[in-house]
Amino acid sequence: MEGFCFRKLDVDGALLEAADRAGAITRGSFLAGALGVSAAAVVGADEAVAQGGKSAKVDQGILNYALTLEYLQAAFYTEAERMKAIKGDVGKAARKLGSVERAHVKAFKDVLGRNAVGRPSFDFQGVTEKPRPFLKTAVAFEDLAVAAYGGQAANLKADSALAAAVSIYSVEARHAAWMRYLFGLNPAAKAFDQPKTAPQITQVVRSTNFIAAPPKTKRKRAPSFTG
Partner 1 sequence: MHESTQGMIQRAGFLRRAALVAGSAAGASLLLGERPTEPAEAQGAAEKRALNLALLVEFAEAEFYAEAVRRKKLQGELRSFAEQVSAQEDEHVKFLKGALGEGARSKPTFDFGDATASGDAFADRAADLEDLAVAAYAGQAANLSKKTLQAAATLISVEARHAAWIRSIVGRPPANDPTDAPRSADQVMSDLKRLGLRG
Member of 162, 198, 201, 205 binding partner 1 (CB under 8 A): 162
**Beta carbon nearer to partner 1, 45 or 211:** 45
Q: Where are the alpha helices (DSSP H) in the chain?
A: 2-12, 14-21, 31-34, 39-50, 55-83, 88-112, 131-152, 159-183, 198-208
CB of 12 to partner 1, least distance (A): 23
Q: State yes or no: residue 218 binds partner 1 (CB under 8 A).
A: no
Report the distance separating Cα 4 and Cα 26, nearest Å. 28
**Contact positions with partner 1 (CB under 8 A) in 56-95:** 56, 59-60, 63
Member of 182, 198, 201, 204 binding partner 1 (CB under 8 A): 182
CB of 92 to partner 1, least distance (A): 9
**Beta carbon nearer to partner 1, 119 or 175:** 175
Planar angle of CA 184, 187, 193, nearest 5 degrees: 140
How far CA 14 is from CA of 91, 113, 134, 197, 212, in Å, comes to 21, 34, 11, 18, 19
Rg, C-alpha atoms of the chain: 17
**Contact positions with partner 1 (CB under 8 A) in 109-128:** 109-111, 113-114
Report the distance separating Cα 191 and Cα 226, nearest Å. 57
DSSP character for 28? Answer: -
Site string for partner 1, 1-40 (x = CB under 8 A): ----------------------------------------
Name which of 199, 196, 204, 182 is nearest 138 in CA terms. Answer: 182
Report the distance separating Cα 43 and Cα 29, nearest Å. 10
CB of 146 to partner 1, least distance (A): 5
**Beta carbon nearer to partner 1, 6 or 178:** 178
**Beta carbon nearer to partner 1, 7 or 96:** 96
How far CA 208 is from CA of 84, 119, 167, in Å, comes to 23, 17, 27
CB 60 within 8 A of CB 52: no
Report the distance separating Cα 167 and Cα 170, nearest Å. 6
Member of 194, 207, 214, 215 binding partner 1 (CB under 8 A): 194
Q: State yes or no: residue 199 binds partner 1 (CB under 8 A).
A: no
Q: State yes or no: residue 107 binds partner 1 (CB under 8 A).
A: yes
Contacts with partner 1, residue ranges (CB under 8 A): 55-56, 59-60, 63, 96-97, 100, 103-104, 106-107, 109-111, 113-114, 146, 149-150, 153-155, 157-164, 166-178, 181-182, 186-188, 190-195
